[in-house]
Structure 1
Amino acid sequence: MSAASERDAVRRARRRIAVLTGVIITLLVTVVGGVADTVMTRAQSDQVWRELRYGAERGDLSSPPVCTWLFARGATALPNAPAGFPVEADMRQVRRTRETVERTVRRDDTRYLVRTQVRADGRVVQAVLDLRFQLADRRHLWFALAVAEVVGLLAAAVTGVVLGRLAVSPLAEALARQRRFVTDASHELRTPVTQAYTRAQLLARQAAAHGMPARHREGLARLVGSVGRLGEVLDDLLLSASLAAGPARPSDHRPVDLVALARSVVAEEADRVREGRITVVVDGPPHPLFVDGVGSALRRAVGELLSNAVGHTPAGGRIEVVLGGARGTVTLTVANTGAGFEPAEAERLFERFHRGGAAGRYGLGLALLREVVTHHGGTVDATGRPGHGARFTIRLPLGGSPPAAVAPTGRRAVRPGARRVRAGRT
């Protein structure tokens, strides 16, 4: 995982903790507010109905309770009685049925509770209660709950940030320690592995010169190959660690001719290609295609792509390396006629040490390849089908030409006038 990916993972973890904390606190405040509103509304409703029923049954017609008016036949209504009362329909219904009627009436932007009943003395009385004060209390409660909700959200945000940092800090520290361990271990192992590789090569040459038995020479050759692959793994780990340490300094970036680099990498694989009886064709423009970057890292990426194609192409197969540039992008495609892979595995090929069905094991290289390409602001993707080969495409931003002639990147130059061929199907 690159440093950018690690930072993104840490940020996502912190964001997730902050969001979950905010949601929990918001839900708690909402639940508490809902419970408070329900309890207060029910308590107010019970209280006002008790007062209304008491007034209708026992209240003095000339001096009713506060915010209550009493109406009866032959009684004089108070001067401040609201308009539209009494409700004559309820009065007539109670006189006829002798059953109590209760209702809520909306008038003058407020609500009234109305109860009409027959008193013990046989008189029909209608009690009207104004709810404006109770409604005002509810509005005050809602305002207080809204303020509490806002405060709760702010507290949730602050708490989420603090908890996110406290909870994720051990993860970030563990990732940093892991990077340092990989870098230190790779550096410490690089020298003894190089020495072992050199000594193994020397022993293999001495074995061949002194005519040792074939089985001993084969064993030494396998030892040389194993130690060499171990050195390659260490190189991959060192390069991955350097990429994870952060973006390279601008002074480390140079214009790199991707066409010359690709031809040089193909030339370095010449012996392996001949041994495997594989045809490799480079199809590139006659002019350079420059990208800004670190030459050694780009060489490693292109080399891994070609090495991967050679390793998955059977004898008599064909590999095509196609380069082109358009709309500010340089494209390098490596297509082979190997076993291919399932389309669903295309993205998983770039996971470290992924092992697929027909594709086999792709190891650390393709994951490192993506790290290098992403580090240079580009993309890489893969397409393929079982039995129809595979195609890997690298896209990098087109860079500026160097002020002076740039020597080809690589140990051996390749003739730039290679014939142009059409890329094979995957």
Structure 2
Amino acid sequence: MSLPALVDPGPPLAPHRAARFARHLTLPGVGDHGQRRLAAARVLVIGAGGLGAPAIQYLAAAGVGRLTVIDDDRVELSNLQRQVLHTEGDLGRPKAQSARSAVALRDPEVVVTAMAARLDPSNALALFREHDLVLDGSDNFATRYLSNDAAELTGTPVVWGSIHQFAGQVSVFWPGRGPMLRDLFPDIPDADSIESCATGGVFGVLCGAVGSAMAAEALKLLCGIGEPLIGRLARYDALSARWDELRFHADPDRPPVLDLEEVAVACRAQWPHGRADDISAGEVAARLERGSAGLVVVDVRSTAEREASRIDGSFHVPLERILARGWAAVAEVLAERAVDGRDIVIACQAGIRSARAIDALTASAPAGLPVRNLAGGMNAYLALAPARWSTRRDLHR
């Protein structure tokens, strides 16, 4: 089933760009017009991990003009076995920023916007409307269904992939052109219904096979060539080296997606603990003791709670103020004291209210600014040692 190209051709290619993409220019169905379509395309990639890493590399290498990478996680040593976009030099960096740096080394003319944030109900619709195509390489059910629902509400096509141990899946969900994720899997599974990569493991090279297949589907859609995986779920088993296919259709009895309310409930249920943006109390204490420049702790508890205990040097911005004013509430306090907050840690008593504050800040905080959740809150911090905290009044109440 051939479909029209998603993107109109951009301006003629400069000679050095034509030389770079010479093997595309002679390719039937791509050619000059197809390459100019890729150059004009705007693609959102959700996740710069196992699937996003190979997909981002191939999209950039193919000459996709503008990429937005959204990922709220940081590069860890255990990622390097499969997330080939990152290196040891990127350890500790936000994955979105690491991805931007990697693309710049490959092709500095590809424009990459790095969002060190989570796709959530507050930003999904705007992001989907701003892009021609979305690649969903997320690793949790809440985000996958959020992508589906945002796609249905905005009409934006999604290339979807998932992996588990030795097997992976790829499909294309294009509203109005074929069935969606909710036609294939109607209900949002529980977060723990399938083992995570951390507990169940994942075959590293599987990510390359599935992520590359996702990139291929994206390029086909952008250029209007071939038969996309609409209404088809391609399944790959790395142990048997076999691809097979499941065909599926739209469910005529499925209620249409009218808003993000249902998926927002799932997001709140699946994300409150063990967030990817968590930072441990031990790491915060160690960094503060070293005098790490740019690390700022924002306490969202009540005044009475801060009277009992607080982190020395922390700033007080009550949760209610953040919920009402977003990032402006924090920025105002930092500006009053001429503080350069390049790495923001949000703290409450147990880590629940701080997670709510981060969700409210994500939509309005400056792009790429790390906003992290103090895991376990003050309870975890106080458990370290009395010398690490203060009951004194200070200038940063």
TM-score normalised by L of structure 2? 0.23
**Larger Rg over CA atoms:** 1
TM-score, reference length from structure 1: 0.21
Structure with more helix by fraction: 1
